[in-house]
Amino acid sequence: MHAPPGPPWPRPREPGAGPASDTVQSNEPAGTMGVQRGVQSPTPGMVQGAHYAPAESFSAGRAAAPAPNAQLTGRLRPVLGERSQVLQAAVQGAQSALGTSRHPAGGDWGPQPAVPRGAGVPGGQHPGAAVIQSSLPQAQSMRWPVAGNPGHPGAFPQAANAQAMGSNSYQVRSRSGVAGTVHGWMTTGADASAFSSVPSQRDPWTANGGQQPLTSPGQSTSPPSGASKLSPSDVPRPAGIDRDYIDRSRPVLVCRHEYGRGTQAETPSLSPSFREAVDTFQIDRGNARPRYVRWTVGSVPRTPDLARSSGIPLAVYVAPFADATDEKPPPVIDTRPHGPVRCSRCQAYLNVGIRYVDSGRSFICNLCHHLNAVDVDRFVPLDPVTQLPVDFANRLELSHGSVEYIVPEEVYGHQGRTSEPVFVLVADAPSLGSLLPYAAFRELLAESLALHRARLALIVTSAGCLHLFPIQPSGSVQEIILPDIQEPFLPVPPTQLLQSPDLEYWPAIAEYIQRTDWYTTAESESPGSHIFAGVLAAAELLEDPSIGGGKILAISSGLSLGPHRAGLALRNRWLELDTRSSHQKWKSSMDRERWLLQPANDAFAALGKRLADAQITLDLFLHPGMFPGTATPRPLPYFDLATLRTLTEHCGGKLFYYQQGRDVAGLQRDLIHAIRAVRALEAVLRVRCSPGITTGEHLGSFRPPGTDRPDIYIPVMSTSTNLYVAIRHDLSEGIVTHPLLHQRSGTGDDAEASAAEAHASTAADSAVSPCVCVQVAVLFTHPGDRTRRVRVHTLAAPCTTLLGQLFRTLDVTCLMGWLARSAAARVQAGGLLPKLRDHLTEQLVDMLFVYRRYCASRSSPGQLILPEALKLGPIYTLGLLKSAAFRAEQVAPDERAYRLHQFMASSLLSMQAAMHPLMFDALNSTVLDPMVGTPIPGTGVVSREATGVPSPSLVSWNSPAGPRAIAAPPSAATSETDAQLAAAPDGAAKLPPLQALTSERLGPDSAWLLLDGWHCLLWIGEFVNPDQQQSVPGVYAGLAGLPVPVMERLYALFPGLLSPDMVSQRSPAEQTFMQLLIEDRMSYAPSYIEYLVTLHKLVQRKLASNEAEKQHRMLGEWEWAHTY
């Protein structure tokens, strides 16, 4: 692509001429966008302030453009004025230092001019923007290998055109610096890592025509002198945002959407700071809390054209039973025997967004605009002044965004479950060594079962046999051995295999197993595991009508060996040659990798569907005890996770993978969590939307909905069960609004006004901006009392017709989670990883191009503009490109398949850690902040309702009082002030502040804890005193600088997190640690600063292409007009 036309290069300065001026003389008015002082003006093919070669010289190995015509430059000097003098010295230095460097993996990096040192101050920017000045590496140096083709000039495809507007942004500008060498194979400036963030509304040195600069309280008024060196820690990164979280008290988020107030719905959004987000105390005031439901963007585009042109995906993250231990749970309302009030057309549940009309005889549904008549026995008159139901204080569904109904079983299709929940533990012989010898595990297991009043069955597999342990009526336990594992069956009634929650017979069974021969010798000779023979037996047990479903916890130590007749035997595809058969010859390594990431057969998916139809969920724990599948030991065991994940995903389960097989504490911890986290049985989920929008693709770990079954069926839901739902416009005119749903009622401050004054107000005064609603309803069986319930979450968000509002309210964490899950789903469906990697960057470039084109079009072309809400988008995208799921480097098939599964099944918090790993100071965290590891102080005394402590009326399950038997005290909106409601109790242990993910922080006298939601590594410098190390069995083995409560909280936040592995400095295991430092350059991906420059180049190319298309179109219209 050719650079747009511009002024020619300046001629060399004549001998004896004076020095070039440091100030750019401009005829533009003061405060004009893009005016800078002490910074060179942009030239063709150059980024402002840094000397980039023209676009034609970006090809690998091509020399730079020749020197310009001196005579032409001389004729244009009167026009250019002082600008040519400012540029001439820099041009000479750039042309003399042009050279070509070689990428270590192959391919040329292209010409790399040395950059002279210069000075500059922040220039003009978009109002409300923050400026990031940097000495970015030159554009030629940014050609890094993607898609398996190092140095490919077209690494990123061009994106589609879009448009946007916005106010807050980050601007990244290039500055000059002395040439240097980074990692030995790239020439950059010595100040290439110098960045600074200046969050100002306007440039203080160009506003007011260069007079006294605009300042804020506490800000220096003197301009910077000389070339200020800026720190790389000031580029947009989660660690920098996290350090701003310095409040000693716990933050509070009030999710507000009040019935009848006519107030604008506010989409609750969490801070991008990790610590602040997990510490926030969320309060429901009419809108669902973001831990349950989150939009990717807080303001929904009103028309499909706006949604399409913005380039921002519109989706909703749903976690109906997310863990909120210290917050007020959704209020429980007993609606038996009539059931809750619902819309007669769309079957939506009553919520804050509906509106009663006709004196309470009917109501308008906010999800379909249907006018519903109120039943006579449910009629409640409206207050003549406030226009609210007279029993509004007890109508919890009209003041809460999340409620839970107890519904009549005969109306809501009860599945017939009357017994306790049942868990079946299936394990092969090597895995039992991680469970049976530990008495503490048995105690924790009994406590977890007692929470749900559940029962447990144990099935063990060995080499070619199944072992059952029925309990006889006399109270004795016997062992039954089934030698036929091809067609397993149960020779005894299923109820004889169930143990009570106190696990009375567990010690006797454990002692007996440890004395048997098959436990000590037989299984050690087996090349794999027959775990799925035990899974089939467990499925037969749970399919019994007297039980009616449950959850299977299967622990496997090797590759599945059968049953063969069911197609559940797997082979080690990792060791197979490319020429195994004619139809399995791959054209490239990418095709072979794609084949390894696809399931080997459909038998496991069919088994998952069978389990789901029987209301059974399977969690599979892969804990290797040997090297399965081959006699030759390999560095890593092989399980074929690409095939096994289809089994768990189709029945709503999860995979847990322990790569090295040494983490016994992690296996026990995850088994306990899998039982404790259960919240719902026999669940059916449906998402409803406002008129004009509808649901699209559903992404998560569950059986995909079909045309004949639009609902999502999940047998067992836990606190980590979640899904993403795409939202799209289904009408060309966009979102449909109803005039009566957006008028102000006389509530709150208007309550004192008379009815006559309220009705005399004009429609213009009473109307408010329309909003859209998404309602998530889950019908389930409560595991405790086995009542049939419906949990309803309603989230309201304002509509907008402005692109700027979309970018201001964007939720970058939720958005990047959707992009990551969408990419993982495409890889699992057979997509090529190189194309997916390019597509991830292309989606980010699309959004940045839209924002730059229509929001910051007056900014200098040498600036990379990052919206304030999207400023973490580049580092999250880079983290995705460097993660094991999408990494361009060779990754073990099981590890890549497992990370893809994690993106599909894990919570948003775990995905955030996978995109940007968390690094903590493991040596000095308590020294820098003595509160680390201690409970976060609350903001005051909270009422019983706010803390979630149940009142006596909340536990009256079968009170004869009717539908309001479980009504809570009056709504907080009427009985408590906002200050009282905003009080939060003490939180969990405070986490240390995050650190930047760069190796520059690794010193021989330091120690760092690094985790990505799965791996947990403890790096210890070679000079660290061994006396500082401590060891707590089963919890933490590390340094005294990280208190044990910190690790316990991390385990609670990230289910499946492995126990910390010690990594010594200069050890071979250090390579794994370095791969998680995503800000550093790697052989397959650039550094963070280099990636920012790459994004800048791609945005500039799109801008130039867009302008060329516009001019071509205008020329065509002119020719047509003059021809005809």
**CA–CA distance from 78 to each of 304, 311, 568, 806, 1081 (Å)?**
51, 44, 82, 45, 45
For residue 452, give the H/E element and its range: helix 439-452
Helix (H, G, I), strand (E, B) or coil at 886: coil
Residues near 745 by Cβ (< 8 Å), separated by ≥ 6? 260, 261, 262, 386, 387, 388, 758
DSSP state of 67: P
Angle at 792 (CA atoms; ends 321, 401), nearest 5 degrees: 95
DSSP state of 634: -
Ordered DSSP codes for 727-741: EEE-STT-----GGG
DSSP state of 34: T
Helix (H, G, I), strand (E, B) or coil at 829: coil
Where do the H-state alpha helices sit in 453-565? 506-513, 517-520, 531-542
At 944, give phi and psi (nearest 5°). Answer: -60, -35
Assigned token pair, 1072: 């794994």
Beta-carbon-side half-sphere exposure of residue 55 (alpha carbons within 13 Å): 16
Burial 922-931 (b: 16+ CB within 10 A, else e): bbebbeebee
The CA radius of gyration of the chain, in Å to the nearest whole number, is 32
Where do the H-state alpha helices sit in 260-303? 274-279
User: Left (φ > 0), alpha (ψ -120 to 50) or beta: where does 48 sit?
Assistant: beta
pLDDT score at 226? 34
pLDDT score at 179? 29
Assigned token pair, 1060: 């910390």
Assigned token pair, 710: 């639009």
pLDDT score at 744? 55
**CA–CA distance from 864 to each of 4, 188, 195, 756 (Å)?**
18, 18, 13, 56
Assigned token pair, 499: 């143990």
Angstrom distance (rounded) from CA 518 to CA 659: 25
* Tokens 């991390």, located at residue: 1050
- Contact 254/216 with Cβ under 8 angstroms? no
Which residue in 723, 772, 846, 789 sits closest to 308, CA to CA? 846
User: How buried is residue 370: exposed, middle or buried, by Cβ count under 10 Å (0-12/13-18/19+)?
Assistant: middle
Angstrom distance (rounded) from CA 326 to CA 282: 10
Assigned token pair, 347: 């079957």
Residues near 930 by Cβ (< 8 Å), separated by ≥ 6? none
Helix, strand, coil share (%) of the chain residues, nearest 5:
30, 20, 50
- Contact 1035/1116 with Cβ under 8 angstroms? no
User: Left (φ > 0), alpha (ψ -120 to 50) or beta: where does 985 sit?
Assistant: beta
Ordered DSSP codes for 363-426: EE-TTT--EEEPPGGG--PBPTTT-SBTTGGG-GGGT-SEEEEE--TTTTT-----S--EEEEE
Residues near 629 by Cβ (< 8 Å), separated by ≥ 6? 527, 528, 558, 559, 571, 572, 575, 637, 638
- Contact 299/152 with Cβ under 8 angstroms? no
Assigned token pair, 1048: 């316990």
**CA–CA distance from 694 to each of 81, 247, 809 (Å)?**
59, 40, 21
pLDDT averages per 10-residue partition of the chain, 1124 residues: 41 41 35 33 34 31 40 41 44 43 38 35 38 38 36 35 39 36 27 31 31 31 36 76 73 84 67 87 92 94 92 96 90 91 94 90 92 91 88 91 92 68 92 87 94 94 89 87 88 91 91 80 63 94 91 93 89 69 61 90 94 94 62 63 95 91 88 96 94 92 78 94 94 78 53 37 46 94 91 94 92 96 95 93 94 83 85 95 92 93 95 94 84 81 36 28 33 43 77 90 91 91 72 49 86 91 89 93 92 92 83 69 62
Angstrom distance (rounded) from CA 887 to CA 878: 10
* Tokens 């993607």, located at residue: 146
Angstrom distance (rounded) from CA 1048 to CA 1054: 10
**CA–CA distance from 1096 to each of 47, 136, 819, 1088 (Å)?**
9, 11, 20, 13
Angle at 795 (CA atoms; ends 791, 797), nearest 5 degrees: 175
* Tokens 């005294």, located at residue: 1040
Angle at 1024 (CA atoms; ends 1019, 1030), nearest 5 degrees: 75
Angstrom distance (rounded) from CA 701 to CA 783: 21
- Contact 773/286 with Cβ under 8 angstroms? no
Ordered DSSP codes for 521-543: TGGGG-SSB-HHHHHHHHHHHHT
Assigned token pair, 610: 């069978």
pLDDT score at 677? 95
Domain 422-569+603-674 is classified in which CATH homologous superfamily?
von Willebrand factor, type A domain (3.40.50.410)
Ordered DSSP codes for 176-230: ---EEESTTS-EEETTTT-EEEE--SS-TTTGGGGSSPP--TT---SPP-S----
DSSP state of 870: G
Which residue in 640, 586, 561, 650 sits closest to 612, CA to CA? 650
Assigned token pair, 381: 């008159």
Ordered DSSP codes for 708-721: S--SEEEEEEETT-
- Contact 37/123 with Cβ under 8 angstroms? yes
- Contact 658/1058 with Cβ under 8 angstroms? yes
Angstrom distance (rounded) from CA 59 to CA 143: 10
Q: Work out whether the CA dihedral 155, 161, 162, 167 comes out positive or negative.
A: positive
Assigned token pair, 1077: 């430092």
Q: How far is CA 105 from the centre of its chain?
A: 32
Assigned token pair, 725: 């739902």
569 CB neighbour count, 10 Å cutoff: 18
First to last CA, the chain: 33
Assigned token pair, 269: 């959004």
